[in-house]
Structure 1
Amino acid sequence: MKINRKLRFQLFMQNSFFLVLFLAFIFLLGFVSFEYHGSQDITQSARNTLSEGSVNVLKQMKGPISITVFVSQDKEYRKIINDFISRYQRSKPDINVEYINPAEHPKLAQDEAIKAEGEMVIEYEKRSEHLVPAYVEQDMTNLLVRLSRSKERAVMYLDGHGERNLIGIRNYDLGEFGKQLQKKGFKLANPDLTIAQGVPTNGAMLVIASPQVDITDVEVKKIKDYLDAGGNLLWLLDDEKMHGLQPIADYIGLKVTPGMVVDLSSAQYGADAKIAFASQYGEHAITNNFMLRTLFPEARMIDAKGTDDNGWEVSNLISVAPNGWLETSKIESASSATKVSFDDKKDIRGPINIAVALERKYGKKGQRVVVVGNGNFLANTYVGQGGNLDLGVNIVNWLAGDDSLITIQPKLLKDVNVSIPRDGFGHLAALIIFVPIFGYSLGLFHVIIPLAFLISGIIIWWKRRKA
């Protein structure tokens, strides 16, 4: 076909119109990408976005958060800090950040008692705390939880009767759980009821963690007086023996059925039958949207009944062993637990309820009690398993009246490293992919492939233009 001037002009106009439309499309695409943001974190453990627990904590913080970072002018270090903070800013835009170079403002750094490069001062509602590198989501979120609390309140625990100790280091104790409570803004107190006039009423709650010997009548009376005054209680039971606390059980309408939960399905998790796994939870603020699996070694069946006289509203919290039962005969060891069989005349078929939450009105504030037929789940040996820690923290937050802070706790993210083989094909492939160019590890995907596409495009365009 012969190309004359008219046809050439038509082709020119068509190409020009296409170019204008293409540039307009690129402009609109850039405008939309600038105005509207969307992202998907596909990394392992979603390491570039916040966990559900952190997001929920930020939602409860209504006012702005101010972060002052004391760091040098190192651009790469500041970028690392900014990337960490931006994860929180995406969920809460009113997080304000200011960078201060300690070398240029030594007086400010001294006034804030700055001790480390990159140390942050985080302020919320006129309360502040420090966060030092290395930055971890769990540490940051725990700090925000502490700032969210209007005041530091005491978790009081009974001691002197063989209880699981909230500062103890034995496998049996609850020391690790106690440390987590302190990180979340609680302080621990240990009133001696043998000499104190009573249980202090200004604490958040009293914890009775599986006493092994009988509690004296004097102490029991002080505990009952504390409940009469509207105090909150967390009671962990390891057997049906009351150890002198039967008056407290009667006061809250508690019933403990003799026997131990047997869960033969625990074998699929590599555990013995004395460990009951739970994934079914009652409708309650503590377990709302709680979907983590928890485990309870040597769990007991409990129940509570609210009456017009006691005024308690009772909620069942945790059901275990849907395919198991409550074994009423004595189980001597873990090996014998796998040999027991269900007896429909004596045993109780699962699921078995092992925890209750009680609540009633008391003056201007509510009164709350939680009883769990197991203390092992918060022991140092088991508190890090599954969702045990999350459940324990949720219980304490609810008892303290901090319903807004009941959430799944942030998890430590796994660190992932790429190991480059020293020889062989793997070493050659790594060199091709990660080969340093101009001092940077740009490599195959950052430079070589895009450059190859660019050169190929230019060659194809040139050949077609010559044709």
Structure 2
Amino acid sequence: MRARLGDILFKVAIGIAAVCLGFLSTRHGFEYDLSAGARASLGPATTALLETLDAPVEVVSYARRQGGLRPVIGEFVARYQRLKPDLTLRFVDPDADPGAMRAEGIRLDGEIEIRYRERSERLKVLSENEFSNALLRLSRSGERIVAFLEGAGERQPLGQANADLGQFVLALQEQGMRPVGLPLASSGQVPRNTDLLVIANPRVALPPAAVTELIDYVERGGNLLWLAEPDERGGLDALAEALSLRVLPGTVVDGGGAAFGLDDPTFVAVSQYPPHAITQGFVLTTLFPQAVALAQVSPPRWDIAPLLRSSLQSWNETGHIPQAGEAAGNVRHDAEAGEITGPLDLGFALRRNSPDPERSEQRVVVIGDGDFLSNTFLGNAGNREFGVRLFNWLVHDDSLVEVPDRSAPDRELTLSQTTLNLLGFAFLVGLPALLAACGGVIAWRRRRR
């Protein structure tokens, strides 16, 4: 009886201990990342950033119920939730109300919106680099004043017409930028508190005094974004000369758009970008309808870096402009007319030491197209994201959370061409020959028996 009672008490004690351990495991735990480069955990820079966020963060994912996106997104966001418990994740099914999703500009399954302190930013690429840098931009205090030149038929920053920039400017407001109109012809001067001046395709020539003020603004160290168009009549040749640039005649025709399913050769699709802070880690394709090519003027007064380039199958067409559905091959390149074959530069980023003692660096971007940010084309591929990167760089909000590559070293196997040839020979010839030889040996042994 004593032995039996001892066994029972021992089993009860083991059961109570197991229950207690199970209860404690729900209250206390630990994690240790054994993956190569600790790639299953957030980096030190992200960890430090999360410690500075003193308000809740809401993440909204527009992912369908079908498919496997929701578990992937949930697992990714859970890494941030372990370090910041007041970071919440909510899923919205875009199929439940497609009209509302289109009105919100949601066109990609799995698109993510991050909200922090009444500001928001959207992501189409799920990575620690993109997610953490979005949080960094949203956490910055202070308002950036962006002045849009008006009075010469420019695109309206708050307009809802197809050619206006209303939808994109709304995204800028959500990131803490304040758009203001600037009728330079009547005001006469760009205010000194302007963080960025935008020239968006003037349709008529600006008064000479306004052009002079624009050049003076640049010479004083002001940041500038100039969205040019083919055959623009703004009278800004003097401004282009001050920027050490020249706007080439004609419209860019690009036969390489067929690879992206484009039937209009005047639509230039760009998927590869020259190295720059604006394009760092940017993998989305951008679309530029009826763009104009740009060229540098030597000797430059700026540090000029290319941002956008057309394909080898492009040129600046100065004669017949093809229409939608007309193949680029139907339009003949005419070298005698001064048409230049691609690749052609569609955008430049300029920088130099600022003449303004209150600013360390002056920044200018010139893009040979303004349609890509318009209400009509903003939702195409990565146009919106590229535009946001442009503005963030121009207003000096481009400090990034550096996330080094922490991929496993054994995920890729690099073989020389000789090794690949030997492996191919072994599988295609050697292995069948070995199997045939084994079969012959087995048949010979059976006959001998």
Query: Shorter-chain TM-score category?
Result: 0.5 to 0.7
- The 5 A counterparts of 1:29-44 are 35-36=31-32
- Return the offset for 1:182: 0.9
Q: Write the deviation string for residues 99-151 of structure 1: whole angstroms up to 9, x where unpaired.
A: 9xxxxxxxxxxxxxxxxxxxxxx98xxxx4489xxxxx9xx989845642231
- Return the offset for 1:69: 9.5
CA distance in 1, matches of 2:316, 2:267: 12
Q: Which residue of 2 aligns with 1:396?
A: 391
SS at match of 1:272: coil
Is the Cα contact below 8 Å between 2:253 and 2:265 reproduced in 1? yes
Letter in 2 for 1:259: G
Q: Write the deviation string for residues 50-99 of structure 1: whole angstroms up to 9, x where unpaired.
A: 9xxx99995783743234599xxxxxxxxxxxx99985562486525399
- Return the offset for 1:262: 1.2
2:326 pairs with 1:331:
no
2:372 pairs with 1:380:
no
Equivalent residue for 1:188, pick from 174, 179, 184: 179
Equivalent residue for 1:90, pick from 72, 75, 79: 79
- The 5 A counterparts of 1:223-242 are 223-242=214-233
CA distance in 1, matches of 2:398, 2:133: 16
Q: Which residue of 2 aligns with 1:203?
A: 194
Is the Cα contact below 8 Å between 1:156 and 1:203 reproduced in 2? yes
Rate the CA distance shift 1:273–1:197 in 2: closer, same or farther, 3 A.
closer
- Return the offset for 1:285: 0.7
Rate the CA distance shift 1:252–1:272 in 2: closer, same or farther, 3 A.
same
Rate the CA distance shift 1:381–1:219 in 2: closer, same or farther, 3 A.
same
Q: Write the deviation string for residues 220-261 of structure 1: whole angstroms up to 9, x where unpaired.
A: 122222112211000001114352212211111111111211
Q: Which residue of 1 aligns with 2:236?
A: 245
Q: Which residue of 2 aligns with 1:285?
A: 277
Letter in 2 for 1:329: G
2:281 pairs with 1:273:
no
SS at match of 1:349: coil
Rate the CA distance shift 1:293–1:406 in 2: closer, same or farther, 3 A.
farther
Q: Which residue of 2 aligns with 1:174?
A: 165
- Return the offset for 1:292: 1.4
CA distance in 1, matches of 2:227, 2:396: 19
Rate the CA distance shift 1:182–1:98 in 2: closer, same or farther, 3 A.
closer
Rate the CA distance shift 1:216–1:264 in 2: closer, same or farther, 3 A.
same
- TM score, norm. by length of structure 2: 0.62
Q: CA RMSD in A?
A: 3.9
CA distance in 2, matches of 1:371, 1:406: 26
2:54 pairs with 1:66:
yes
Is the Cα contact below 8 Å between 2:132 and 2:401 reproduced in 1? no
CA distance in 1, matches of 2:229, 2:247: 10
SS at match of 1:318: strand
CA distance in 2, matches of 1:214, 1:388: 28
Rate the CA distance shift 1:317–1:270 in 2: closer, same or farther, 3 A.
closer
2:285 pairs with 1:296:
no
CA distance in 2, matches of 1:57, 1:163: 42
CA distance in 2, matches of 1:130, 1:276: 32
Rate the CA distance shift 1:68–1:210 in 2: closer, same or farther, 3 A.
closer
Equivalent residue for 1:254, pick from 242, 245, 248: 245
Structure 2 residue ranges without an equivalent (≥5): 1-21, 59-71, 89-114, 121-125, 403-449
CA distance in 1, matches of 2:146, 2:246: 25
Q: Write the deviation string for residues 305-345 of structure 1: whole angstroms up to 9, x where unpaired.
A: 4647x3x1000111113223222223163355642123344
CA distance in 1, matches of 2:389, 2:401: 5
SS at match of 1:330: coil
CA distance in 2, matches of 1:342, 1:165: 35
CA distance in 2, matches of 1:401, 1:143: 15
Q: Which residue of 2 aligns with 1:315?
A: 305
2:359 pairs with 1:368:
no
Rate the CA distance shift 1:380–1:129 in 2: closer, same or farther, 3 A.
closer
Q: Which residue of 2 aligns with 1:355?
A: 347
Ranges of 4+ aligned residues in structure 1 off by more than 6 Å? 54-57, 83-86, 140-143
- The 5 A counterparts of 1:153-164 are 153-164=144-155
- Return the offset for 1:37: 5.1
Is the Cα contact below 8 Å between 1:394 and 1:406 reproduced in 2? no
- Return the offset for 1:397: 0.6
Identity %: 36
Is the Cα contact below 8 Å between 1:297 and 1:377 reproduced in 2? yes
Rate the CA distance shift 1:129–1:386 in 2: closer, same or farther, 3 A.
closer
CA distance in 2, matches of 1:216, 1:283: 37
CA distance in 1, matches of 2:401, 2:387: 10
CA distance in 1, matches of 2:144, 2:326: 44
CA distance in 2, matches of 1:129, 1:237: 33
Q: Write the deviation string for residues 396-425 of structure 1: whole angstroms up to 9, x where unpaired.
A: 011000112599xxxxxxxxxxxxxxxxxx
Letter in 2 for 1:258: P
Letter in 1 for 2:313: N
Q: Write the deviation string for residues 177-219 of structure 1: whole angstroms up to 9, x where unpaired.
A: 1111111111111122233241112122000001100111121
2:211 pairs with 1:220:
yes
Rate the CA distance shift 1:360–1:68 in 2: closer, same or farther, 3 A.
closer
Structure 1 residue ranges without an equivalent (≥5): 1-26, 40-48, 71-82, 100-121, 132-136, 408-467
- TM score, norm. by length of structure 1: 0.60
SS at match of 2:203: coil
